[in-house]
């Protein structure tokens, strides 16, 4: 395509590499769909807990509604919406899976899929959307990898918070049976632990808005 041919050779190679990784990750995901907790009923129930849905809705509309006021032409309603949605759907699973990898309890193929999902949601999909929408590669692509990954990590950790009888507030992926939704209390039980993650995201967005204005 013309827009790709006009790019610097570095970006042509970079795009080619991550498109190959996305394709490989997608094929692995299809092949492993019956073994990935991402697609299980337990994970859907985990995400459907009222406090997770409520905080997602607040974050979703916050990110989408602020988009036109950033002064950044690369941040619009569409990319704010889909990145928020797919972060909610995938970040708790990806962060949990990578925790298992650090603990030596995840299969290599699961780690590969989780890494590809993370980078696709937080960075590569955004880059491609801007490239074909504005016909330029976003100049903030390198910064965005780091910044969006921090937000993705915070989202994955926050939405993995849970309250377990006898244990108190924990990261759910550290408990047996994850991702079963075993919370025994309301959001108020974990609000104090969720607040730091919310503040990191909120301050990050506020700083971005300040620098744009």
**Mutual orientation of helices 125-134 and 141-158 as an angle, nearest 10°?**
140
- How many CB atoms sit inside 10 A of residue 18's CB? 19
> What pLDDT, in 10s, does the model give residues 55-89?
999 999 988 888 777 667 778 899 999 999 999 99
If DSSP codes are grouped into helix, strand and coil, which group holds residue 164? strand
In whole angstroms, how far apart are CA 165 and each of 35, 51, 63, 184? 28, 18, 34, 7
Percentage of residues in the chain having pLDDT higher than 70: 91
- For 166: left if phi > 0, alpha if psi spans -120 to 50, otherwise beta; the answer is left
User: b/e per residue, 118-145, with b = 16+ CB within 10 A?
Assistant: bbbbbbbbbbbbbbeeeeebbebbeebb
CA distance 40 to 32: 12
> What pLDDT, in 10s, does the model give residues 119-154?
999 999 999 999 999 889 998 899 889 989 999 999
């Amino acid at each position: 395509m013309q827009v790709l041919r006009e790019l610097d050779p570095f970006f042509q190679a970079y795009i080619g590499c991550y498109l190959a990784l996305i394709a490989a990750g997608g094929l692995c995901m299809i092949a492993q769909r019956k073994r990935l907790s991402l697609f299980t009923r337990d994970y859907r129930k985990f995400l459907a807990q009222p406090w997770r849905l409520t905080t997602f809705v607040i974050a979703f509309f916050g990110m989408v509604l602020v988009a036109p006021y950033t002064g950044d032409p690369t941040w619009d309603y569409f990319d704010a919406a889909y990145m928020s949605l797919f972060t909610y759907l995938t970040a708790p699973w990806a962060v949990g899976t990578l925790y298992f990898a650090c603990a030596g309890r995840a299969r290599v193929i699961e780690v590969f899929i989780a890494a590809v999902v993370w980078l696709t949601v937080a960075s590569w999909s955004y880059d491609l959307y801007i490239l074909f929408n504005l016909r330029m590669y976003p100049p903030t692509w390198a910064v965005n990898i780091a910044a969006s990954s921090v937000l993705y990590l915070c989202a994955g950790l926050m939405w993995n918070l849970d309250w377990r009888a006898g244990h108190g507030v924990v990261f759910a992926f550290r408990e047996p049976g994850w991702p079963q939704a075993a919370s025994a209390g309301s959001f108020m039980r974990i609000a104090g632990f969720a607040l730091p993650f919310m503040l990191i995201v909120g301050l990050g967005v506020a700083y971005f808005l300040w620098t744009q204005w």
